[in-house]
C-alpha cells in the first residue's frame, strides 16, 4: 500500500517545488545592451538562481531551433538541429535543479510569433510556478537611429530609404503581455536616468537580486562613427559582387563582420538621421508608438540628437558622403590599421582598381 502511494506523494512534492520556482526572461530588445547582459551573466549561478547554460550566452539560437517552425525556422538558419533535440536539451537544463533560472534572448521579441511564444511558455509552465519578463526599450526616435545604424553596418542593403523603418513595438511585445500577463512583463525605458546607476547590466542584475561583485562586468561596445558605418555598408555592397571569391576561404557572414570591424576607428562624427527623416518615418507608426506609451508607467524623455551627428538624408546623400571620405579612409587604412587578413585583401583589391579607374565587377 505504501509503495503504491509513494509516487503520488513524490508527484505532489515535485509540483509544490515547481510552484515555488521563477523563470526570469530577458526579452531584449535589440540595441539595448543585451549582449553586455548576456556576457556578464554567462555561467553565473548562486544558491538561489542560475543563468541557463545552453550553447551560447545569447540563448536565441537554441530557443529558435526548439520553438520556431516551418519557413521561419529555415529562413533564420535553424534547420540544422532537430526541434525535438533542441527542446529536449532545453527542458533538461530547465529541470536540472530547484533553483530559479534566467533566460536571455533578444530574438524572443524579434523572430518569435504568438505560436512560438505559446510553445515555449507551455514548457516553462511545467517547470516553474512563476514566469516574469523584462524588456528594455529605446525611445522610438533613438531606436530608429540605432536600428538603421546596425542594419547599415552589417548588411549590403542598397536602399537607404528602405533601411530607415521603425520597429513594430505592438506586434513584438503584445504576444508576451497576453501570454504572461501584463503584470508579469516589466517594460523599462532604455535611458540612463531610468537604469540602476545608469547602467543596463547593473539594472538587470539589481532586478534579479544579484550583486555586482557576483558578475563579470564586460566593457561597453565601441560605437563606430557615422563615417565608418556608411563605408561598411558601401563595402558590403561591393563585396556582394565578389561573394564567390570571398566565400572560398570563410563564410560570408564572418567576412561581413570582419569588414565592419575593419573600419572601426575611422571618422569622428556620430551616426544620425536628418530630423525631417526621423519625423516622417515615425509619423506612419504613430498608432504603434501610442500603444507603447500606453503600456509604460512613465513617458520617454525627448530624443536629443548628437551635437556632431552625421545626419543622413537619402541614398543620394549617403553615396555623396562615401565619395567625399573614401580617399581619407584609405589614407587612414594604409597607415597599418589592424584588420583581418581577408578583409585587408578585399580592400587592397578595391583600392587598386579605384586608383586605376577600373570598374569593380
> How far apart are the C-alpha atoms of 148 and 270, rounded to whole Å?
13
The confidence score (pLDDT) of residue 337 equals 72
Residue position matching grid coordinates 547582459: 37
Q: Which residues touch 260 (CB under 8 Å, ≥6 apart)?
A: 153, 154, 224, 232, 236
Bigger pLDDT: 350 or 142? 142
Query: How many beta carbons lie within 10 A of that of residue 67, not counting itself?
Result: 26
Question: With bands split at pLDDT 50, 70 and 90, how would you rate the model's confidence at 158?
Answer: confident
> How far apart are the C-alpha atoms of 292 and 297, rounded to whole Å?
10
> How far apart are the C-alpha atoms of 52 and 42, rounded to whole Å?
8
Lowest mean pLDDT among 35-44, 50-59, 107-116, 345-354: 345-354
Average pLDDT score over the chain: 86
The confidence score (pLDDT) of residue 39 equals 93
The confidence score (pLDDT) of residue 322 equals 93
Alpha-helical segments (H) within 155-300: 160-163, 169-180, 200-208, 226-241, 243-247, 252-262, 275-283, 286-295
In 3D, which of 231, 309, 300 has the Cα closest to residue 275?
Answer: 309
The confidence score (pLDDT) of residue 6 equals 40
> How far apart are the C-alpha atoms of 267 and 329, rounded to whole Å?
8
**275-313 residue pLDDT tens:** 999 999 999 999 999 999 999 988 999 999 999 999 999
The confidence score (pLDDT) of residue 285 equals 96
User: Phi/psi at 162 (nearest 5 deg)?
Assistant: -75, -25
The confidence score (pLDDT) of residue 360 equals 46
The confidence score (pLDDT) of residue 241 equals 66
Which residues in the chain are classed under CATH 3.40.50.300? 19-155+167-214
Name the grid cell of 52: 541557463
> How far apart are the C-alpha atoms of 264 and 120, rounded to whole Å?
38
User: CA-based Rg of the chain, rounded to a whole angstrom?
Assistant: 23
The C-alpha angle with vertex 52 and arms to 79 and 195, in degrees rounded to 5, equals 110
Identify the H or E element spanning 310.
Answer: strand 309-312
Asked whether the predicted pLDDT for residue 75 surpasses 60, the reply is: no
The confidence score (pLDDT) of residue 340 equals 72
> How far apart are the C-alpha atoms of 142 and 281, rounded to whole Å?
12
CATH of 19-155+167-214, one of 3.10.270.10, 3.40.50.300, 3.40.50.200, 3.30.565.10: 3.40.50.300
Contact between 59 and 43 under an 8 Å Cβ cutoff? The reply is: no
Asked whether the predicted pLDDT for residue 263 surpasses 90, the reply is: no
The confidence score (pLDDT) of residue 157 equals 76
The confidence score (pLDDT) of residue 262 equals 79
The confidence score (pLDDT) of residue 251 equals 62
Tell me the pTM. Answer: 0.86
Lowest mean pLDDT among 137-141, 223-227, 270-274, 342-346: 342-346
Amino acid at each position: 500500500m505504501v509503495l503504491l502511494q509513494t509516487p503520488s506523494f513524490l508527484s505532489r512534492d515535485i509540483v509544490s517545488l515547481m510552484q515555488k520556482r521563477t523563470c526570469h526572461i530577458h526579452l531584449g530588445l535589440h540595441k539595448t545592451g543585451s549582449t553586455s547582459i548576456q556576457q556578464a551573466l554567462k555561467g553565473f549561478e548562486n544558491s538561489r538562481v542560475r543563468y541557463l547554460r545552453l550553447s551560447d550566452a545569447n540563448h536565441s539560437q537554441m530557443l529558435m531551433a526548439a520553438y520556431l517552425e516551418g519557413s521561419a525556422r529555415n529562413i533564420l538558419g535553424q534547420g540544422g538541429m532537430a526541434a525535438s533535440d533542441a527542446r529536449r536539451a532545453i527542458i533538461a537544463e530547465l529541470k536540472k535543479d530547484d533553483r530559479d533560472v534566467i533566460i536571455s534572448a533578444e530574438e524572443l521579441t524579434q523572430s518569435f510569433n504568438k505560436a512560438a511564444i505559446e510553445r515555449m511558455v507551455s514548457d516553462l509552465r511545467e517547470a516553474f510556478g512563476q514566469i516574469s519578463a523584462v524588456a528594455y526599450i529605446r525611445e522610438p526616435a533613438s531606436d530608429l537611429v540605432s536600428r538603421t545604424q546596425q542594419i547599415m553596418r552589417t548588411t549590403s542593403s542598397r536602399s537607404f530609404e528602405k533601411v530607415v523603418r521603425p520597429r513594430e513595438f505592438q506586434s513584438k511585445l503584445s504576444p508576451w503581455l497576453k501570454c504572461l500577463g501584463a503584470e508579469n512583463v516589466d517594460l523599462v525605458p532604455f535611458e540612463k536616468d531610468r537604469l540602476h546607476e545608469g547602467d543596463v547590466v547593473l539594472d538587470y542584475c539589481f532586478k534579479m537580486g544579484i550583486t555586482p561583485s557576483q558578475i563579470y562586468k564586460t566593457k561597453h561596445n565601441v560605437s563606430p562613427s557615422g563615417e565608418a558605418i556608411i563605408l561598411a555598408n558601401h563595402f558590403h555592397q561591393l563585396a556582394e559582387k565578389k561573394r564567390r571569391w570571398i566565400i572560398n576561404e570563410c563564410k560570408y557572414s564572418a567576412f561581413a563582420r570582419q569588414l565592419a570591424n575593419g573600419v572601426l576607428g575611422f571618422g569622428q562624427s556620430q551616426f544620425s538621421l536628418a530630423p525631417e527623416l526621423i519625423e516622417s518615418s515615425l509619423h506612419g507608426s504613430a498608432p504603434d508608438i501610442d500603444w507603447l506609451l500606453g503600456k509604460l508607467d512613465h513617458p520617454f524623455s525627448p530624443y536629443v540628437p548628437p551635437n556632431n551627428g552625421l545626419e543622413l538624408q537619402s541614398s543620394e546623400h549617403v553615396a555623396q558622403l562615401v565619395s567625399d571620405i573614401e580617399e581619407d579612409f584609405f589614407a587612414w587604412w594604409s597607415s597599418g590599421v589592424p584588420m583581418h587578413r581577408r578583409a585587408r585583401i578585399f580592400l587592397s583589391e578595391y583600392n587598386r582598381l579605384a586608383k586605376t579607374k577600373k570598374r569593380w565587377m
